[in-house]
Structure 1
Amino acid sequence: MRWQIEKKLTDQLDRETGYVRYPFGSRHTMAICYPNTYETGMSNLGLQIIYQQVNGRGDFQCERAFLPDKDLQKLYDKDHIPLLTLENQRPLCDFEIIGFSINFEMDYFNVPFILEQGRVPVEAAKRQDDDPLVVMGGPVAFFNPEPLTPFIDVCLVGEGEDLIHAFLDAWLAAKAEPGMTRQKLLQRLAQVDGVYVPSLYTHVYNEDGELTAIVPEAGAPEHVRRQWHELTKPGETVIATPDTEFGAMYLIEIARGCGRHCRFCMAGYCYRRPRVRPLEYVKEAVLRGKKLGKKIGLMGAAISDYPYIDELVTFIRDQGLAFSCASLRADSITPTIVKGIAESGQKTITLAPEAGSDHLRNIINKGINEEHLLHSIDLCTAAGIHKVRMYIMIGLPWETDEDIQGIIDMTHRVRAHMDAIGNSAGITLSINPFIPKPMTPFQWMAMTDKKTVEKRLDHIRKGLAHDKRIEILAEPLRQCYIQGVLSRGDRRVGQLLLLAHTYGGVKGWKRAAKEMHFDVDAFLYTKRPEQALLPWDTLDNGLVPNYLTQELRQAEKGAYTRPCFDGCRRCHICGGN
């Protein structure tokens, strides 16, 4: 019954601090949806930041909706209740704008499900003038939104703090004009920098299924330039709740972007250039977290690269606060950081060598070596952090059998080194297949076939099986290879997603591919020509033309690309163009 759902949502709100609730309809209405459960969605700082920006305007109210967990979904299904928002328990179809914050490929399947549950037409092409406008933000929107274009009216291409206001201002201005149809509204919104309207672009394929042209309608820009934010607005927890993965933490974004140039990493290219928040702002945010009695969670691409990290850690500990880091690099970790996280109760150090050989680490431009790993382990062991977790990829471009053996040999050396310094704690290897990402130097590369990856994973397991202190974890390969399709998918993959939705979502994926005669293996395992038109080529991330191909050549040679530095003009994102 609906009252049971409303009670669960109200109880959820009662456990929060910092949310905003206005009488429904007293302002223009926007619902922001995270296509996963509340526990996952409310761990996402980006969603909270946009929630704060919209509610702070004075002319909009922003409410939240999430994928129901299993127990809540049973209540929705029992009486066919539409998906309700948290703040005012209103169906999604009652809102003027519905925003999706999308970060992970496997969440794509939840987008049509949430729309259907919210009584919103699933397909954008079937929406009428009085239906909600469905908008997508988050990293997916600005590296490859094409697989989601059957469901999305508008994509916000870039970081949202400023872009959301430009979009909403344009929406208000257009809606104020008499006779504004949905089509005219979309055409008007497409004039805003950073706003991509997929329906205004036709993708043309030849008889072999190759994308040959992307044709914009008259008046639509040929390319949509992604937008950046200079970190002038707050970047910390807005809504505190105990019911998330980071429920005990007050999250603070201390930096954004990464200039390390790891060639496999989408974040390193889509969030370039690196920017840091002033130390004084971060200290003030720490004190706000202290008032809530929270542990401090430092967020950023590489926390140990923050230029004031030692001073910040010292400040946090002087306040009597514990803290945790989103990520550390083995070549920039310091004794101060290690001492601080040990005193904060952390028992495991997580490092990401990504590969077991210098050969492959040079190809991907990782920039660390085994000495960095061992030095980090020394620091952590001395501080009382004994367990080690290492992230490894297999199936990287130009990988050889020797590189796979290198993972085994490296792990044995790490194990021997730990024993030599009196550290008998366990090692966990988190091993997953490499997935090529759009807008990176490896965007053209084939994914290594599943059988080869299984064989190499089995070889690693056998090579390390004798030491029970070494644990190997791997994500289910089926999901990884679905991600491989979605990551670089085109609009035909969007149709595949739509059909899979009718068959139950991810469990209907294989059936939908078979019915559409979609050759998944050919899509994954065929290297794309560097001159090929790519589905995401409408989006301009600011890189100088040919920069990615130049980096691909560097990868082939195993040549090093120096991290970003002041005055650098290599990629042109920092104003070189």
Structure 2
Amino acid sequence: MNRKDLIDRLQELYKDEDSRVTINPHAEQKVAIVYPNTYFVGMSNLGLHIIYEEINLHPSSVCERIFLPEKKELDAYDKTKTPLMSVEMQRPMHQFDVVAFDVTFEMDYFHIPLMLRHGRVPVMSEDRTGFDPIVIAGGPCATFNPEPFADFIDAFIIGEGEGIVTAVLERIRKGRENGESREETISALAQIDGVYVPVLYTPQYDDNKRFVGYDIADGAPKIIRRHFEPLTSGGETVIATNFTEFGAMYIIEVARGCGRHCRFCMAGYCFRVPRVRPLDILKEGVDRAEKLGKKVGLMGAAISDYPEVDELVTYIRSKDMRYSCASLRADSLTQAVVDGLAESGQKTITIAPETGSERLRRVINKGISEENLRTAAQLSAKSGIQHMRLYIMIGLPTETDEDIDAIVGLAERTQAHMAEVGCKGRLTLSINPFIPKPFTPFQWMAMDHQKSVEKKLQYIKKSLQKNRRIEVLVESPKEAYIQGVLARGDRRLGKVLAACALDRGSKSFKSEMKKVGLDMDDCNYRERKFEDYLPWSHLDMGLRNGYLEQEWQRAVDEAYTPPCMEGCKRCGVCK
């Protein structure tokens, strides 16, 4: 591939899109929204669509998109010495005023320095001059612990991007108009509530090279509060394209946040309170999907929890449209939802009990019983959906051998019950190692040892291998333990990630960690103390002091925490 081939490829992608937004390529402020993965993956991310629309609706800004090229294309960028370019105007990354990363998954951290280098933007923030773009970042990973990639970023948006991204871009424009230096503008961004400027926070380490806190610059806020707003308008696909992970689907965000209090789930704590969109706004989104001839993809933490879910799916079905759901809960599943999925051609119903035992579900506050699973199987059989998938985690806190046996037992009983109610399909167990995440009651916990997890996985596979109607799928434990380090790591990981980007990516991670004096086993297997200052302790999700420690104790006691409710002041978010 030559340079022209690379440009032609971007132009083809742009030509095949159907966008609700018209861009002004000559607008004063040029912003690149960068997704650190391929177009195929990135265009399935609804957050990118929402922020893209907001920026382009401002008369002074134009927003264009840059994605990680496929491996073959990236080699061609290298050989032809072509910088990464935007889809819209094939504008090189280094020619934008602002480069904004949307970071959703830990394994994409490896792509951030790679993309900056290929975009001809200095990888390290400290190496940039007034001629370089200001690099900002947002998304779930930027919210719960931005430290591992903070060396690459000038300013982070903590929380949800709507509204605040406009304020950030306006402040950058103001700085440029007033002739401010790059350093002055970036420092000024720290005064916007919800913005974290890492250069103002210098990590401190003790004699054992353990992180102990920050030396905070004068005038910088000691605590950065996350930003969030009510869902007043629709959140849905802005640019329709067939070349995405979800195919020809029009995504509509039904709700945001979750009030179920599952103790392992970062999204349930960092995006609280749960908010739902009005039914009439969702119907308008369905109407737009109909005009495009698209299948509707309902997005949210638990679609079946939406109060008017039956009315919504009935409206979709009344138009002879197909739909799918991002997530369902067995205890709130309805026949109307399942019937609609079956009519939409869905072959598998997916439920996440997370564990095999009722005891461990009490520990994690999952609140799903085996009876709920049986009901889900019955609803599926009645609608004609033959297959079921169960999401399971292993290595959870307090897990015992009996809990592993319970996974095998649950799979066998569920498959037998499917057969009893007429389902002749397959039961799939999708098993992932548990990863402790910041801002959850398990944030202090050690991960289960990798060898122990691998042994448990082999035991489950062997125990179920004779049943041809049960399939066991396993995520790579090796990758899970890299994610474990990245989820709770500190700023020293920036040098590791930058070095990996020059070498073999994540395959170099363990060896590069050793070069900077970090031990992967120590990061994952060391239990933190409640009183420890953690790399994310200066970020505020709105939870009251002591709440997460209280929830950890409730986990140990196997005590149930009921869902969020109107007027509740339990966790402190609804002050």
Task: Quote the offset at 1:316 in angstroms.
Answer: 0.5
Contact 2:27 / 2:59 at 8 angstroms: preserved in 1? no
2:143 matched to 1:127? no
Q: Offset of 1:430 from its aligned partner?
A: 0.3
Residue 163 of structure 2 aligns with which residue? 162
Find the counterpart in structure 2 of residue 510 from structure 1. Answer: 510
What letter matches 1:412 in structure 2?
Answer: E
Residues 335-383 of structure 1 show CA distances to partners (whole Å, capped at 9, x for unaligned) of 1111111111100000100000011000000011100001001000110
Q: Which moved more, 1:348-357 or 1:204-213?
A: 204-213
Residues of 1 paired with 2:348 and 2:308: CA distance?
Answer: 23
- Post-superposition CA distance 1:385-440 (Å, at most 9, x none): 01010000000000000000000011111122122222221111000100000010
Q: CA deviation at 1:23?
A: 5.8
Q: Which residue of 2 aligns with 1:448?
A: 448
Q: Secondary structure at the match of 1:170?
A: helix
Aligned to 2:252: 252
Deviates more, 1:113-122 or 1:72-81: 72-81
One-letter code of the match for 2:148? P
The yes-or-no answer on 1:38 pairing with 2:39 is yes
Structure-to-structure mapping, 1:380-529, within 5 angstroms: 380-529=380-529
Query: How far apart are residue 504 of structure 1 and its match?
Result: 3.0
Q: Deviations over 1:310-342 (max 9, x none)?
A: 001111000111110000000000011111111
What residue is the counterpart of 1:214 in the other structure?
214
Question: What is aligned with 1:174?
Answer: 175
**One-letter amino acid of the counterpart of residue 29, structure 2:** H
Q: Report SS of the residue matched to 2:244.
A: coil
Look up the equivalent residue of 1:298 and give its one-letter code.
Answer: L
Q: Which residue identity lines up with residue 433 of structure 2 in the other structure?
A: P
User: How far did residue 25 of structure 1 move?
Assistant: 4.1
Contact 2:114–2:502 (CA under 8 A) maintained in structure 1: no
Letter in 1 for 2:404: I
CA contact (8 A) 2:114 2:501 kept: yes
CA contact (8 A) 2:233 2:281 kept: no
Distance across 2 between alignment mates of 1:247 and 1:237: 12
Q: Report the counterpart of residue 234 of structure 1 in structure 2.
A: 234
| SS of match in other structure, 2:151 | coil
Give the Cα separation in 2 of the matches to 1:160 and 1:445. 30
How far the C-alpha of 1:70 sits from its partner, in A, is 2.3
Change (3 A) 1:201 1:506: same
Alignment of 1:554-565 (within 5 A): 554-565=554-565
1:499-556 CA distance string (max 9 Å, x none): 2223232122122123223211111001001110000111111100111000000001
Residues 282-301 of structure 1 correspond to what in structure 2 (within 5 A)?
282-301=282-301
| Structure 1 residue 5 corresponds to structure 2 residue 6 | yes
Asked if the contact 2:171/2:185 (under 8 Å) is kept, the reply is no
Is 2:272 the counterpart of 1:308? no
Measured after TM superposition, the shift of residue 24 of structure 1 is 4.0
Q: Structure 1 residues 22, 271: CA separation in 2 closer, same or farther (over 3 Å shift)?
A: closer
1:194 alignment counterpart = 194
Report the AA paired with residue 447 of structure 1. M
Structure 1, 149-158 or 167-176: larger mean CA deviation:
167-176
CA distance in 2, matches of 1:211, 1:509: 20
Instruction: Give the equivalent residue in structure 1 for 2:243.
Output: 243
**Cα shift at 1:130:** 1.7
User: Is residue 34–residue 100 contact of structure 1 (8 Å, CA) maintained in 2?
Assistant: yes
Whole-Å separation in 2 of the counterparts to 1:502 and 1:8: 25
Unaligned runs of 5+ in 2: none
Q: Is residue 99 of structure 1 aligned with residue 100 of structure 2?
A: yes
Contact 2:29 2:61 survives alignment (8 Å): yes
Contact 1:240 1:247 in 2 (8 A): no
Task: Say which SS state the counterpart of residue 160 (structure 1) adopts.
Answer: coil
Q: What residue number does 1:372 align with?
A: 372
- Structure 2 residue 319 is the aligned partner of structure 1 residue 351: no
Q: CA deviation at 1:182?
A: 1.4
Name segments (4+ residues, structure 1) moved above 3 Å. 19-26
Matched letter for residue 339 of structure 1: D
SS in 2 for 1:506: helix
* Distance in 2 (alpha carbons) for counterparts of 1:252 and 1:510: 39
Give the superposition deviation at 1:203: 1.1
Give 1:19 shift. 6.4
CA distance in 2, matches of 1:445, 1:417: 36
Stretch moving more, 271-280 or 70-79 = 70-79
Give the aligned CA root-mean-square deviation in angstroms. Answer: 1.1
Report the secondary structure of 1:149's partner residue.
Answer: helix
Gapped runs of 5+ residues in structure 1?
none
Structure-2 change in CA distance of 1:340 and 1:22 (3 Å): closer
Are the equivalent residues in 1 in contact too, given 2:157–2:195 (CA < 8 A)? yes
Deviation at 1:167, TM superposition (A): 1.0
CA distance in 2, matches of 1:337, 1:310: 6
Q: Secondary structure at the match of 1:571?
A: coil
2:51 aligns with 50
Quote the Cα distance in structure 2 between the aligned partners of 1:530 and 1:299: 35
Q: Is the 8 A contact 1:147 1:494 kept in 2?
A: yes
Alpha-carbon distance in 2 for matches of 1:160, 1:447: 31
| 1:10-159 map, 5 Å | 10-18=11-19, 20=21, 22=23, 24-159=25-160
Aligned partners of 1:311, 1:23: CA distance in 2, in Å? 39
Q: Matched residues in 2 for 1:37 and 1:502: separation? A: 19
Secondary structure of 1:297 counterpart? strand
Check the 8 A contact 2:234/2:277 in 1, yes or no: no
Distance (Å, rounded) in 2 between the aligned partners of 1:20 and 1:104: 27
- Residue 101 of structure 1: CA displacement? 0.2
Report the Cα distance in structure 1 between the residues aligned to 2:391 and 2:209, rounded to whole angstroms. 36
CA distance in 1, matches of 2:72, 2:18: 24
Tell me how far 1:308 sits from its aligned partner: 0.4
Whether contact under 8 Å (1:28, 1:59) holds in the other structure is yes
Measured in 2, the distance between the counterparts of 1:193 and 1:233 equals 22
Aligned with 2:162: secondary structure?
A: helix
CA deviations on 1:453-501 (whole Å, 9 max, x unpaired) are 0111111111111101111101111111000000001011222222222
- Tell me, in whole angstroms, the C-alpha distance in 1 between the residues paired with 2:261 and 2:16: 41
Does the 8 Å contact 2:304/2:333 carry over to 1?
yes
SS of 2:250 mapped into structure 1: strand
CA contact (8 A) 1:441 1:549 kept: yes
Question: How far apart are the structure 2 equivalents of 1:21 and 1:254?
Answer: 25
Q: What's the TM-score, normalizing by structure 2?
A: 0.98
More displaced 10-residue stretch of structure 1: 205-214 or 55-64: 205-214
Give the aligned residue type for 2:549. Answer: T
The farther-off stretch of 312-321 and 166-175 is 166-175
CA contact (8 A) 1:142 1:156 kept: yes
Shift in Å at residue 248 of structure 1?
1.1
Q: Shift of residue 294 of structure 1?
A: 0.5
Contact 1:160 1:229 in 2 (8 A): no
d(CA) in 2 for partners of 1:515 and 1:192?
37
Contact 2:35 2:67 in 1 (8 A): yes
| Residues 22, 61 of structure 1: 8 Å contact kept | yes
User: What letter is aligned with 2:143?
Assistant: F
Return the offset for 1:247.
Answer: 2.7
Aligned with 2:152: secondary structure?
A: coil
What is the deviation of 1:183?
A: 1.3
Asked if structure 2 preserves the Cα contact closer than 8 Å seen for 1:4 and 1:75, the reply is: no
Letter in 1 for 2:149: L
